Structure 1
Amino acid sequence: MSRLKITAKELRAIGYPESPVIPVAMNVMEKHFKHHTKEAAFDILKAVLQSPKDYATHETLQPIAEKLLPKEKADGAEISLNNEGVHFNIFGADNIEQGALQQMYSAAKLPVAVAGALMPDAHHGYGLPIGGVLATENAVIPYGVGVDIGCRMCLSIFDIDVKDLTQREAFFTRELGEATLFGSGAMFQHAADHAVMDNALFYEMPLLKSLHGRAWKQLGSSGSGNHFAEFGIVDVPATDATLNVPAGTYVGFLTHSGSRALGANIANHYTKLAMSKRRLPQEAKHLAWLTLNEAEGMEYWLAMNLAGDYASACHHIIHQKIAKQLGRKPITMVENHHNFAWKERYDNKEVIVHRKGATPAGKDVLGIIPGSMTAPGFIVKGKGEEASINSASHGAGRKMSRTQAMANITNNALKEELAKHHVKLLGGGLDEAPFAYKDIEVVMQHQKALVDVVGKFTPKIVKMCGAETNRTRKNNKRDVVEGE
């Protein structure tokens, strides 16, 4: 198949203005959509031209949208980065792309930065790199948390014979299908009930009030992208006092998703406010912050925590449905956020620790680090390592962008990999194929000083959003962006 070639004349013919957008559009399309037909490529370009705002945070089309959007005048004064950044430790540097490193170097130069760390699964994102950890003084960075606020893991461990996963595969498959909804705009016709929806902030803050109805209809749903719900085998090699599960083999139910449209709208709203108050150099503009002394900063902090509670409620609703259908209560549940900000102590002072795609790993803190749809995940216990600001990776981390994965991975290759590992996949797309991710075993080797492994989860029946070939059309607004 011939590679896509676009001319400036063709772009002008469909309404694109002159430079600087035309060369940017040519470069983006020929680099990331090189195997698309010209007709398909121009459909995408027309969509961006018609509504650039919808693509302002898109993984590959954002540079085009940015050139098409009118320049907003910032009210605040321009702020320079420090000449030298605060120190940050890098774990697994050999496997971290240059883009993620550059983003972390920029973050370290922020005037509010205190310390940082880069996890071994790190890759390029918006604002902080995914896998980035940044401690700040009295300042919160909306894009240091990410768009999918409170994206988290939740694992229920059941004392069920693992042979049931094979012998009763149809039952487990059906229950996965009925437990939750996938898709960026997925909403239930009949909303679930949970105390989180009665939080007073939904009635006191105008932004949250406007989001309340949709949030309720999405309560218990799972989004798209790399979010999943899956059954698998949990191996606990030895009884650990913190996990408190006897050594043995169990059936596990594992979910990964965040705060849906609620978190995305909060993130985008307060990022715009932060950027209007603090203009930063181009390479750091998404790292604009709000202080907790400002009304906007405290509003974001409260809204962020509510979005985290909402994400947790989504998981609990899904797990309660599964437990009811299994007729069992879980022996235990392990869960953790990995897109969030916390008030913590560092170097004997209070700081705000942003973990964007990073797992809390304080002393004896339990967490889950997943691999991929075929690679194992790990139940871990933090060692409280200050060098990583009490953090660890949040997964294996991508080694291919979604566009690269779609262009380079075949359906046959994915089917063979699933068969090799005896995994049944429901939905899912090539952009989430195992080949798009780093080797989780290598990632875990790079953080042996950060966590102890107390259990292992091997996926067997995996439910994700449908094939991602329609991603550009369906998920323009990046309802799930930084859960990666």
Structure 2
Amino acid sequence: MNGKHIQKLGFEKRAIKLALDAANLREDAGASRSEVLDELQAVQNNPTGYLSGGVYAELAAELHEQDQQVVSRQSAKLRDTPLPYRVWGEDLIDPGAHDQMDVAMRLPISRAGALMPDAHVGYGLPIGGVLATENAVIPYGVGVDIGCSMMLSVLPMAPGALGTEEARSLLMKHTRFGAGVAFEKRDRQDHEVLHDPAWKEQPLLRHLHPKAAEQIGTSGSGNHFVEFGTLTLKEADLGLEAGEYLAVLSHSGSRGFGAQVAGHFTGLAQKMHPTLDRTAQKLAWLPLDTHEGEAYWQAMNLAGRYALANHEQIHGRLARALGVKPGAQISNSHNLAWKQRHGGRELIVHRKGATPAEEGRLGLIPGSMADPGFVVRGRGVEAALNSASHGAGRQLGRKAAANTLAKKDVQSYLQGRGITLIGGGIDEAPQAYKRIEDVIARQNDLVDIVAQFQPRVVRMDTGSEDI
């Protein structure tokens, strides 16, 4: 038996040597050449049947791996043209966001999509993009800040009952912002999410747990904020009478924990699809029926719960300091993937900067540090995959805002609206964002307005250039 006999069977690369080694062992054991060739053909036709052991196990493993690579290359081929998808607020969306959504809709796993009026360019899926896939999850379709979310607490106090200086003092004492920051050890609080069994089920999560426990109840940088303001409820709703209330609104996520989960699993997804077109590499996916897909799904949902725990501690600290209990509390994640039925089948709906808006579901759509935010109730529009915008959306990137906006103009804008700002960089100036009123107007078929929140005292991390 020699290599030429093996090649005639169609073996290639490393499999030729493995087949020859196995064939020689079989011939040494007394098998005839024709018997060995028949056996090799059988292994080639069904390698999985020989993986459990025996003289052909190593060859079977190599052939199985080659088969998997072929399947991966085939499944990673993009569609020639994107699937159709609905767009809300077409006139507000830059071409780059459209281009990114088009690539996402060419993925072989994509089944439906939508673009919200706050959409702008992101990594992989655009911010404001909603994408439904079949049996697959895209780490960058969820985003780096997994579980990034909103929470509103309506307090049983009149807006004027809390003075500006007292509000400032409370925010300085009970909130923390920035990369790597944490409360002093004596001031940290426990939370049930830190005892979730999922932390122990993956080496990555075990590694990340100590830092997550250290940073619980804090916020990151960028557009994360905690603010006191006035909630105006024109009609009785939320279990409250119509009127004006003091309220706390926060925007926060899963800190460095979520970012490391995103980076780790994106790397695994890209290795799983090495031939994926360059334009779609940040949209590499993990099949949910693989170990990697199941692990990401578990880690993603844990990060989502952790993000909401951060909000709970922020709001709890402020309410206790004021000696009150919230009369109503609303929260929603807007960087997550959900299992959702669409068109009669279960799909994975990625919302990267989009608010869940199933019929009757409450959600929060903030404006900027100086502009109003809104409590909304979803209308369950199937074409939007039951989604709405997650905010106003950027119209200037961070560098563009820092390079083009004048500090005096931003300060004048804040003063004109009675905003007291703690921290905050010019890259987060109100002028860097689309007008929230325009964004809301473009999606009045997706949500109904329940209440309006006007910020008054705002705390954020310091930016590249303070305002």
Q: TM (normalized to structure 2)?
A: 0.83
The answer as to whether partners of 2:153 and 2:249 remain within 8 angstroms in 1 is: yes
Is it true that 1:275 corresponds to 2:270 in the alignment? yes
The answer as to whether partners of 1:152 and 1:256 remain within 8 angstroms in 2 is: yes
* Residue matched to 1:216: 213
C-alpha distance after superposition, 1:315-335 (max 9, x if no partner): 001111011011111101010
Is it true that 1:430 corresponds to 2:405 in the alignment? no
Q: In the TM superposition, what is the alpha-carbon distance from 1:95 to its structure 2 partner? A: 1.1
Is it true that 1:265 corresponds to 2:260 in the alignment? yes
* Residue matched to 2:386: 390
* Residue matched to 1:173: 168
C-alpha distance after superposition, 1:206-235 (max 9, x if no partner): 001111111111100110000000000000
Q: What CA distance in whole angstroms lies between the structure 1 residues aligned with 2:308 and 2:119? A: 24
After superposition, residues 30-109 of structure 1 pair within 5 angstroms as 77=73, 79-109=76-106
CA RMSD of aligned residues (A): 1.3
Is it true that 1:303 corresponds to 2:299 in the alignment? yes
Match of 2:374 among 371, 375, 378: 378
Q: In the TM superposition, what is the alpha-carbon distance from 1:77 to its structure 2 partner? A: 3.0
Q: What CA distance in whole angstroms lies between the structure 2 residues aligned with 1:143 and 1:116? A: 15
The answer as to whether partners of 2:425 and 2:465 remain within 8 angstroms in 1 is: yes
Secondary structure at the residue paired with 1:468?
A: coil
The answer as to whether partners of 1:77 and 1:277 remain within 8 angstroms in 2 is: no
Secondary structure at the residue paired with 2:240?
A: coil
The answer as to whether partners of 1:160 and 1:251 remain within 8 angstroms in 2 is: yes
After superposition, residues 84-163 of structure 1 pair within 5 angstroms as 84-163=81-160
The answer as to whether partners of 2:222 and 2:463 remain within 8 angstroms in 1 is: no
C-alpha distance after superposition, 1:48-97 (max 9, x if no partner): xxxxxxxxxxxxxxxxxxxxxxxxxx995372211122221000011101
After superposition, residues 293-332 of structure 1 pair within 5 angstroms as 293-332=289-328
Secondary structure at the residue paired with 2:151?
A: strand
Q: In the TM superposition, what is the alpha-carbon distance from 1:184 to its structure 2 partner? A: 1.3
Q: In the TM superposition, what is the alpha-carbon distance from 1:189 to its structure 2 partner? A: 2.9
Q: What CA distance in whole angstroms lies between the structure 2 residues aligned with 1:461 and 1:468? A: 21
* Residue matched to 2:402: 406
Structure 2 segments unaligned to the other structure (5+ residues): 1-68
Residue 450 of structure 1 aligns to which amino acid in structure 2?
A: L
Q: What CA distance in whole angstroms lies between the structure 1 residues aligned with 2:255 and 2:230? A: 28
* Residue matched to 2:250: 255
Q: What CA distance in whole angstroms lies between the structure 1 residues aligned with 2:272 and 2:129? A: 24
* Residue matched to 2:13: none
Residue 349 of structure 1 aligns to which amino acid in structure 2?
A: R
Q: How many residues align?
A: 393
Q: What CA distance in whole angstroms lies between the structure 2 residues aligned with 1:91 and 1:441? A: 14
Q: What CA distance in whole angstroms lies between the structure 2 residues aligned with 1:229 and 1:212? A: 25
The answer as to whether partners of 2:154 and 2:246 remain within 8 angstroms in 1 is: yes
Q: In the TM superposition, what is the alpha-carbon distance from 1:99 to its structure 2 partner? A: 0.6
Q: What CA distance in whole angstroms lies between the structure 2 residues aligned with 1:421 and 1:371? A: 13
* Residue matched to 2:444: 448
Select the structure of larger CA radius of gyration. 2
Q: In the TM superposition, what is the alpha-carbon distance from 1:237 to its structure 2 partner? A: 0.8
Match of 2:363 among 363, 367, 378: 367
Runs of 4+ in 1 over 4 A off after TM superposition: none
C-alpha distance after superposition, 1:102-139 (max 9, x if no partner): 00000011111010000000000011000000011110
Q: In the TM superposition, what is the alpha-carbon distance from 1:204 to its structure 2 partner? A: 2.1
Q: In the TM superposition, what is the alpha-carbon distance from 1:172 to its structure 2 partner? A: 1.1
Q: In the TM superposition, what is the alpha-carbon distance from 1:354 to its structure 2 partner? A: 0.2
Is it true that 1:356 corresponds to 2:352 in the alignment? yes
* Residue matched to 1:182: 177
State the identity as a percent.
Answer: 49
